[in-house]
Amino acid sequence: MKVLLINGSPNADGCTNRALDEMISVFEKEGVEYEKIQVGKLMIHGCIGCKQCKYLKRCALDNDLVNEVARKFAEADGLVIGSPVYMGSAAGTMVSFLDRLFYSTRYTFDKRYKVGASVVSARRSGNTFTFEQLNQYFLVSEMPIAAGVCWNNVFGYTKEDVEKDLEGLQSMRVLARNMIHLMRSLKLGEEKYGLFEKEPRKITNFSDGL
């Protein structure tokens, strides 16, 4: 089993990272391979809608980590995406990164049955909206979503504050264990029953294209 963790916070050693590290402590204990990638401080352009990824089999904007992470994502059994709450939603750099990562890889590998988990850190509020925002990437990709205790979030302005959020840290540990169980179960199910045939995607538009 291998899990890829993406930290979308500009603060590489802040609240979001502390939450992800709590999950990592469980992965290490259970012998699950993992890699954590920091993207929060990178200059990441949003998707420009060129649709060249359909033909290139990669994002056309090949000047940051998106295509490199895409290759790692293809090999992973699970993906954790973590973001702080900024202005009531996920960090802008993280959104740009995930938009391109998930859109471009729809043409290169099947994300079905890779397990997804969202982690959010907030000083006070905006956590539930951000949590739902991040989960949309999994839902549109047919990825099962792992759950922790309540919502997968921690509270604090600094990582020292997060240390006091015992419920939040417990939720991270529970989330990691539930994620491991899902990945193992899905792997066993695939070995025993195989995968359902993927239907060709049908796209419905209610306009005349004008």
Q: What are phi and psi of 206, to 5 degrees?
A: -105, 55
State in Å, rounded, how far the first CA of the chain is from the last one: 48
* 205 — pLDDT class (breaks 50, 70, 90): confident
* 198 — pLDDT class (breaks 50, 70, 90): confident
Q: What is the pLDDT of residue 201?
A: 82
Q: What is the pLDDT of residue 51?
A: 93
Q: Is the pLDDT of residue 208 over 70?
A: no
Q: What is the pLDDT of residue 181?
A: 98
Q: What is the pLDDT of residue 209?
A: 53
pTM over 0.95: no
Here the CATH number for the domain that contains residue 189 is 3.40.50.360
Domain that holds residue 94: 2-193
What is the tally of structural domains in the chain?
A: 1
d(CA 34, CA 24): 8
Q: Assess if residue 143 is contained within a domain.
A: yes
d(CA 207, CA 12): 45
C-alpha distances in angstroms, 134 versus 148, 203, 204? 15, 23, 24
Q: Assess if residue 209 is contained within a domain.
A: no
Q: Assess if residue 202 is contained within a domain.
A: no
Q: Assess if residue 160 is contained within a domain.
A: yes
pLDDT digits (tens, 9 = 90+) for 57-96: 999 998 889 999 999 999 999 999 999 999 999 999 999 9
